[in-house]
C-alpha cells in the first residue's frame, strides 16, 4: 500500500517535470537557433516603397518560400524593388537548406496555402506535378488581362523546358546554376603554381599547398543530405553519366567509380581536405573558403558574390582585393592533349502551389521576377537569371564578369535526370557518396548499391520494365 | 403509493441523468484525443498495408498486404537503425543512471547550497532539444568548436566528433547524457528522500559498511523509483529524433541513424508513406513490449 502511494507520487513528479520541460522554451538559453527559424523578412522593411507606378494593379500580399543562402539574400533585395515598382507586398520566408525539399513537400501536400510562391529545383517538380500540388501557369499565360504583353517564353528557354510537363508550364526559371573551381590567387602565385586545368594538376596543386591544420589544399562536401550536390561536378568531369538513353542506370560504370574514387581519396589517401568534410555542405564549404582554411574548392557560382565581397569574406582579401578567383571545373586530359570537361548544373525556378489563395498576385510576381527587368535586378544582385535577354543586357555583362565564363561553361553543364522518381534516385546517389567518403564502403560497392536502388526506382516510375 | 412511484420515477430519471453527467465532462477531451490520436493511428495502420507514394497516390493507393512489413525486415538499413537505437539506448541509459545515482547520493547529503545546486543541475533539462542540438553542433565543430579548441589548448589532438562514423553515435550519447542525467538524478533523489529511516539506522548499528548499505538497502528499496525512471527514459531514448537530426542527420554513413530518423527518411524525404507507416508500427510494437515488461516489473515491486 505504501509502495503504491509512493509510485503514484513518483508518477506525479514525472508528470510535473514533463510539463516543466514542455514550458521551457521561454527559459531557454540565448544564442537561439538562428539557422532554423529565422523570422520571415519583409522586403518592405528592407527598402520602403516609394514611387508607385500608377498603372500597376493592386494585389494582396504574398509569401515566398526560399532556402537560406545567397538566393535568399538576393530575393530580399530584388523583391524590395518589386514592391517599389508595384506597391504590392512580398513577405519572404527563409528555410534551412537541408530540410527545404521535405518541408515544401509536406506543406504542398497539406494544401495549407502557407506559401504563394516557392523557389525550387526543377528536378523536384515532376513528383509534385504528379501529386497535383502545383498550379499550371497556362490559364494566366493565355489570359490577356493577366499576362504581361511583353511575356515571351522563348527568352526563358531552355530553363522553362525543365519546368514544363505534358505541355503545361508549371514554373518560370531562375538560377541556371553551375560550379566554379575557386582558388586562392595569392597562394598560387606565392608558390608559382598554375591554375589547374586537369585533375592531375588539381591534385598536384592541392598537395603542394597542403599545410594542415592551418591550410588544406582542397575541399569536398559529403554531408548526408547534400553530398550529391558537391560530388556531381567531379562525376560529370570524369565522364560520369546517371542514365543512358534507355534509362539504364550507369552511375557505377568505370567513369563514375573513377570519379568517386578520386573524390574520396582526396580525404582518405591524399589527405588534402579537412578531416571533417563528411559534414560539409554548401554552407560549410562557403565558410571554409571564406575563413581561408583551404587553398581551393569547387563551389556553386551562386556563391561568387559572397566570396568576392571583401566585407563578407575579409579573411580572403588583401588590400581590399578579393583573393579567391574562379575558373572552370578541371577536366581530364585526353590522349590528344585536349582537356575534356563536364560539370554539374542545376536549374531552379519559381512555382506556385495549388493551395495558394493569391494565385494571380503570385503569378504576377514570378512573371516580373523572370522578365527582362526583374531578371536584370536579380543578376545585378548576384543571381544567375535564366532570361537570355537579361543575361545579354549590357549593364549585366559589364557588372557581372562571371557570366562570360558561364557562357564558356554552357556546353559542359549536365543536369540530373528530371523524372517522377528523381528524389529516390537522388537519395540513393547521395548515400553512396556519403558512405564512401565516411569510409564505410568502397566506391564500387557504394555505386553498385546506388545503381540497384536507382534502377528499382526507375522501374517503379514506369521508365523501364 | 402513488407518491412513492412518482418519487422513484423522478429518482430514476435523475439517476439516468446523473449517469450521463460524466459524459458531458469527458466528451470534449475524448473527442479531441480521438481526433488527434486515434485517427492518425488508425490511418497510419491502414497505410502500412498500402503503397502510398507522392507520384502515385492520385492514381490510387493499392493494397499490398504485408509487403511493407516484409520489406522492412529484409532492409539492412532498418535492421541497422534498430541496432543503432539500442546501442544508443544502452550507452545513454548506463551513463545517465551511473551519473544520476552519484548526483542523487551527493545531493541527498546536507550540503551547503543544496537548493541552489539542485536547481542548477536542472538547467540542461530546461532547454528545448532544438537549442541543444544546434548549440552542441557548434561546440562539436571540428574547426571552430569550443570542445576541440580546449582539447588543442590542453595539448591533445582535435576529435572528429560528428564527421567520423565511429564517433558520431558516442557524440550523440554525450549530448543526451548531458541533457537528461539531471532528470534521472532528480527522480532518484526524490526516491532516496522518501526511503524510511529505520532500516538504515538498524544497519548502521549492525556495523554495515557504506557499500553494504547501498547494495543491500538503498538499491532494493529504490527499485520502484529506478524502474519508473527506466521506463520513462527507455521510451524517450527509443524515439529520439531532434537532437540526432540536428547533430548528424543520422550520418555519416548512417552510423547514427536511429529508427525515427529512418522513418523520417522514408516518410518525409521520399514520401513512401506506406513503408514509413509500417516502420512506425514496428516502433510502437517494440516500445509496447518494453513498456509492458517494465510495467509488470514495477507492479511486482509494488506488491
**pLDDT at res. A387:** 93
For the cut 50, the answer to whether the pLDDT of residue A37 exceeds it is no
**Cβ distance of A17 and B190 shorter than 8 Å:** no
pLDDT (average), residues B212-218: 92
Interface of B with A in 273-302 (CB under 8 A): 298, 301-302
Nearest to A275 among B135, B160, B186 (CB): B160
Of A337, A339, A320, A319, the closest CA to residue A329 belongs to: A339
**Cβ distance of A225 and B249 shorter than 8 Å:** yes
Cβ-based contacts of A288 with chain B (< 8 Å): 143
CA-based torsion, B278, B283, B286, B287: positive or negative: negative
Percentage of chain B lying above the pLDDT 90 cut: 66
**Cβ distance of B163 and A36 shorter than 8 Å:** no
In the numeric block, which cell numbers belong to residue A20? 516543466
Interface of B with A in 224-253 (CB under 8 A): 224-225, 228, 232, 248-253
Nearest to A420 among B55, B248, B298 (CB): B55
**pLDDT at res. A98:** 82
Are A233 and A179 a contacting pair, CB within 8 Å? yes
Q: How far apart are CA A345 and CA B140, in angstroms?
A: 32
- Number of compact structural domains in chain B: 1
Burial of A157 (0-12, 13-18, 19+ CB in 10 A): middle
**For helices B76-108 and B165-193, angle between their N-to-C axes, nearest 10 degrees:** 40
Q: Does residue B45 lie within any of the structural domains? A: no
For the cut 90, the answer to whether the pLDDT of residue B122 exceeds it is no
Query: B16-47, pLDDT tens digit by residue?
Result: 888 888 888 999 998 998 888 888 999 999 99
CA-based torsion, A270, A274, A280, A285: positive or negative: negative
Backbone conformation region of residue A323, classed left if phi is above 0, alpha if psi is from -120 to 50, else beta: alpha
Interface A–B counts its CB contacts (< 8 A) at: 151
Query: B42-98, pLDDT tens digit by residue?
Result: 999 999 999 999 888 988 899 999 999 999 999 889 999 999 999 999 999 999 999
For the cut 90, the answer to whether the pLDDT of residue B264 exceeds it is yes
| Domains of chain A and any CATH numbers | 3-177+345-414 (3.40.190.10), 179-343 (3.40.190.10)
**Cβ distance of A36 and B130 shorter than 8 Å:** yes
Percentage of chain A lying above the pLDDT 70 cut: 88
* Domain boundaries, position B208: 69-302
For the cut 80, the answer to whether the pLDDT of residue A34 exceeds it is no
**pLDDT at res. A44:** 44
- The CA distances from residue A2 to A135, B187, B197, in Å, are 65, 18, 15
Query: A377-403, pLDDT tens digit by residue?
Result: 999 999 999 999 999 999 999 999 899
Q: How far apart are CA A210 and CA B214, in angstroms?
A: 57
For the cut 80, the answer to whether the pLDDT of residue B267 exceeds it is yes
**Cβ distance of A128 and B54 shorter than 8 Å:** yes
**Residue B121, domain CATH:** 1.10.3720.10
Please, what's the b/e burial string for A282-318 (b: 16 or more CB within 10 A of its CB; e: otherwise)? bbbbbebbbebbbbbbbbbbbbbbbbbeeeebeebbe
**pLDDT at res. B149:** 94
Q: Does residue B252 lie within any of the structural domains? A: yes
The pairing of beta strand A164-165 with beta strand A332-333: unpaired
**Cβ distance of A3 and B250 shorter than 8 Å:** no
Interface test with A, best of B158, B188, B228, B270 (most A CBs within 10 A): B270
**Cβ distance of B251 and A278 shorter than 8 Å:** yes
**Cβ distance of A275 and B253 shorter than 8 Å:** no
> pTM here?
0.82
Cβ-based contacts of B303 with chain A (< 8 Å): 3
The pairing of beta strand A296-300 with beta strand A171-184: antiparallel
If you search the block for the grid coordinates 582535435, which residue do you land on?
B158
Query: A72-109, pLDDT tens digit by residue?
Result: 999 999 999 999 999 999 999 999 988 899 999 999 99
pLDDT (average), residues B153-170: 93
Are A202 and A220 a contacting pair, CB within 8 Å? no
Cβ-based contacts of A10 with chain B (< 8 Å): 187, 190-191, 224-225, 228
Banded model confidence at residue B1, pLDDT cuts 50, 70, 90? low
Interface test with B, best of A36, A278, A434, A440 (most B CBs within 10 A): A278
Cβ-based contacts of A9 with chain B (< 8 Å): 190, 194
Banded model confidence at residue A13, pLDDT cuts 50, 70, 90? low
**pLDDT at res. A24:** 40
Interface test with B, best of A1, A33, A463 (most B CBs within 10 A): A33
Q: How far apart are CA B123 and CA B112, in angstroms?
A: 19
Interface test with A, best of B131, B164, B231 (most A CBs within 10 A): B131
Nearest to A27 among B54, B126, B270 (CB): B126
Amino acid at each position: 500500500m505504501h509502495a503504491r502511494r509512493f509510485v503514484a507520487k513518483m508518477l506525479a513528479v514525472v508528470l510535473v517535470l514533463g510539463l516543466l520541460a514542455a514550458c521551457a522554451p521561454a527559459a531557454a538559453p540565448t544564442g537561439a537557433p538562428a539557422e532554423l527559424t529565422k523570422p520571415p523578412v519583409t522586403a518592405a522593411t528592407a527598402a520602403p516603397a516609394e514611387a508607385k507606378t500608377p498603372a500597376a494593379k493592386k494585389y494582396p500580399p504574398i509569401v515566398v518560400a526560399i532556402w537560406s543562402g545567397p538566393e535568399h539574400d538576393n530575393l530580399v533585395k530584388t523583391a524590395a524593388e518589386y514592391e517599389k515598382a508595384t506597391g504590392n507586398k512580398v513577405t519572404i520566408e527563409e528555410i534551412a537548406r537541408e530540410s527545404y525539399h521535405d518541408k515544401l513537400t509536406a506543406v504542398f501536400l497539406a494544401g495549407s496555402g502557407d506559401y504563394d510562391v516557392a523557389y525550387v529545383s526543377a528536378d523536384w517538380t515532376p513528383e509534385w506535378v504528379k501529386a497535383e500540388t502545383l498550379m499550371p501557369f497556362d490559364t494566366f499565360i493565355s489570359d490577356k488581362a493577366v499576362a504581361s504583353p511583353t511575356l515571351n517564353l522563348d527568352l526563358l528557354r531552355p530553363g522553362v523546358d525543365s519546368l514544363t510537363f505534358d505541355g503545361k508550364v508549371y514554373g518560370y526559371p531562375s538560377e541556371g546554376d553551375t560550379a566554379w573551381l575557386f582558388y586562392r590567387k595569392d597562394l598560387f602565385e606565392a608558390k608559382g603554381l598554375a591554375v589547374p586545368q586537369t585533375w592531375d594538376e588539381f591534385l598536384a596543386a592541392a598537395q603542394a599547398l597542403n599545410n594542415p591544420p592551418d591550410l588544406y589544399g582542397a575541399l569536398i562536401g559529403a554531408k548526408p543530405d547534400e553530398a550529391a550536390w558537391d560530388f556531381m561536378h567531379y562525376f560529370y568531369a570524369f565522364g560520369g553519366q546517371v542514365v543512358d538513353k534507355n534509362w539504364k542506370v550507369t552511375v557505377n560504370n568505370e567513369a563514375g567509380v573513377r570519379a568517386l574514387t578520386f573524390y574520396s581519396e582526396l580525404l582518405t589517401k591524399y589527405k588534402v581536405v579537412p578531416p571533417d568534410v563528411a559534414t560539409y555542405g554548401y554552407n560549410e564549404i562557403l565558410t571554409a573558403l571564406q575563413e581561408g582554411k583551404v587553398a581551393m574548392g569547387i563551389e556553386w557560382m551562386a556563391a561568387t558574390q559572397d566570396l568576392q565581397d571583401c566585407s563578407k569574406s575579409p579573411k580572403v582579401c588583401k588590400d581590399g582585393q578579393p583573393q579567391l578567383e574562379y575558373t572552370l571545373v578541371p577536366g581530364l586530359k585526353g590522349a590528344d592533349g585536349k582537356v575534356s570537361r563536364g560539370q554539374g548544373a542545376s536549374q531552379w525556378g519559381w512555382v506556385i502551389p495549388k493551395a495558394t489563395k493569391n494565385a494571380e498576385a503570385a503569378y504576377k510576381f514570378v512573371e516580373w521576377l523572370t522578365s527582362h527587368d526583374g531578371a536584370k535586378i536579380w543578376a545585378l544582385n548576384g543571381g544567375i537569371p535564366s532570361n537570355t535577354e537579361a543575361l545579354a543586357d549590357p549593364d549585366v555583362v559589364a557588372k557581372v564578369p562571371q557570366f562570360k565564363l558561364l557562357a564558356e561553361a554552357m556546353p559542359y553543364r549536365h543536369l540530373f535526370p528530371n523524372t517522377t522518381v528523381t528524389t529516390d534516385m537522388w537519395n540513393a546517389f547521395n548515400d553512396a557518396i556519403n558512405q564512401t567518403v565516411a569510409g564505410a564502403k568502397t566506391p564500387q560497392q557504394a555505386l553498385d548499391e546506388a545503381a540497384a536502388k536507382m534502377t528499382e526506382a526507375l522501374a517503379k516510375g514506369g521508365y523501364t520494365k | 403509493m402513488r407518491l412513492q412511484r412518482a418519487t422513484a420515477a423522478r429518482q430514476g430519471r435523475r439517476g439516468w441523468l446523473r449517469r450521463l453527467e460524466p459524459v458531458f465532462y469527458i466528451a470534449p477531451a475524448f473527442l479531441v484525443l480521438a481526433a488527434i490520436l486515434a485517427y492518425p493511428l488508425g490511418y497510419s495502420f491502414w497505410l502500412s498495408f498500402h503503397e502510398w507514394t507522392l507520384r502515385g497516390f492520385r492514381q490510387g493507393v493499392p493494397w499490398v498486404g504485408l509487403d511493407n512489413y516484409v520489406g522492412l525486415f529484409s532492409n539492412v538499413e532498418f535492421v541497422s537503425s534498430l541496432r543503432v537505437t539500442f546501442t544508443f539506448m544502452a550507452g545513454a541509459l548506463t551513463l545517465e543512471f551511473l551519473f544520476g545515482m552519484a548526483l542523487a547520493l551527493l545531493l541527498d547529503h546536507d550540503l551547503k547550497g543544496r537548493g541552489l545546486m539542485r536547481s542548477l543541475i536542472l538547467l540542461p533539462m530546461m532547454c528545448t532539444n532544438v537549442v541543444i542540438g544546434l548549440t552542441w553542433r557548434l561546440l562539436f565543430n571540428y574547426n571552430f568548436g569550443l570542445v576541440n579548441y580546449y582539447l588543442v589548448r590542453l595539448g591533445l589532438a582535435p576529435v572528429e566528433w560528428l564527421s567520423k562514423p565511429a564517433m558520431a553515435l558516442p557524440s550523440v550519447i554525450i549530448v543526451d547524457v548531458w541533457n537528461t542525467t539531471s532528470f534521472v538524478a532528480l527522480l532518484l533523489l526524490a526516491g532516496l528522500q522518501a526511503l524510511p529511516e529505520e532500516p538504515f539506522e538498524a544497519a548502521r548499528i549492525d556495523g554495515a559498511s557504506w557499500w553494504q548499505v547501498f547494495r543491500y538497502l538503498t538499491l532494493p528499496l529504490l527499485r520502484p523509483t529506478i524502474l519508473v525512471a527506466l521506463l520513462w527514459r527507455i521510451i524517450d531514448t527509443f524515439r529520439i529524433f531532434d537532437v540526432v537530426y540536428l547533430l548528424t542527420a543520422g550520418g555519416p554513413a548512417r552510423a547514427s541513424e536511429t529508427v525515427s530518423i529512418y522513418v523520417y527518411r522514408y516518410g518525409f524525404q521520399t514520401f513512401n508513406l506506406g513503408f514509413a507507416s509500417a516502420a512506425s508500427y514496428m516502433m510502437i510494437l517494440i516500445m509496447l513490449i518494453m513498456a509492458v515488461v517494465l510495467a509488470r516489473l514495477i507492479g511486482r515491486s509494488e506488491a
